[in-house]
Structure formats: C-alpha cells, structure tokens
Amino acid sequence: MEECRPPGARGSVLRLTISTLLLLSTTIALGEPQKWPEGPGKSLVQRNCLICHSAEIIQGQRLSRDTWLKEVEKMAGWGSPIADAEREALADYLSQHYSPETPLAEPERERIKF
C-alpha cells in the first residue's frame, strides 16, 4: 500500500524539530544576564571590573573587606582603570555582598522537559 504523503514530508518535519531544539538549547545556554545587587558599587564594578572577565569570577568569591581591598588593588595593578579614591567604596560593596558570611550561590539547574 502507498503512503499518502508527499515525498520528503517526513524529512522536513524532522528538520523543523531539530532546528527548534537547537534554538531552544541556545536560549538555555545563554541563561539570565548576571545580576548585581543595587548599591553605590554596582557601577564601579561594571566600569572597572567587567572589562577583562566575567561577573562569575567576582561573584563566586567570599572574601573579607581587607582581602577585597587587596584584590581590587591587585586588579588595578593588572590594568583596571579604577581610581584610587573609589577603591574603598568598591571594597565596601563587594564585602557587603560577597563576604565569608554570604551563602554560596546555588548552582544553576535546568529543568528539562520532554
């Protein structure tokens, strides 16, 4: 018995499914943009720290204020344009949000539906 389907119909359905899946996985991989807590240090980080690396490298740290200040000074030595007068404010902001008392971030989990 002949199938009543134009030749190639099955192929195009398959192609559509594959491209939909690809599109979906790209959306999942990009995820949410990194969020920074509101505060006077937010724009300091954005202007002086995210030129070279991702937000995660900063947000994943749990440091005391002293250690943050040293870290900021080290990054200034490595080429961050942060002004001398702004370093203390940045250390305040970073230690307020990413100190040893801050709980570790939950790993990102993705729910996969079939």
* Interacting residues toward ligand HEC by CB under 6 A: 48-49, 51-53, 57-58, 61, 71-72, 75, 78-80, 82, 90
> Minimum CB separation from ligand HEC for residue 20, in Å?
35
The DSSP line for 16-45 is HHHHHHHHHHHHHHH-SPPP--SSTTHHHH
Query: 8-40 burial, b if ≥16 CB within 10 A, otherwise e?
Result: eeeeeeeeeeeeeeeeeeeeeeeeeeeebeeee
Does residue 34 come out as left (phi exceeding 0), alpha (psi in the -120 to 50 range) or beta?
beta
Cβ-based nearer residue to ligand HEC, 33 or 79: 79
Cβ-based nearer residue to ligand HEC, 15 or 60: 60
> Minimum CB separation from ligand HEC for residue 78, in Å?
5
Cβ-based nearer residue to ligand HEC, 7 or 79: 79
Cβ-based nearer residue to ligand HEC, 29 or 55: 55
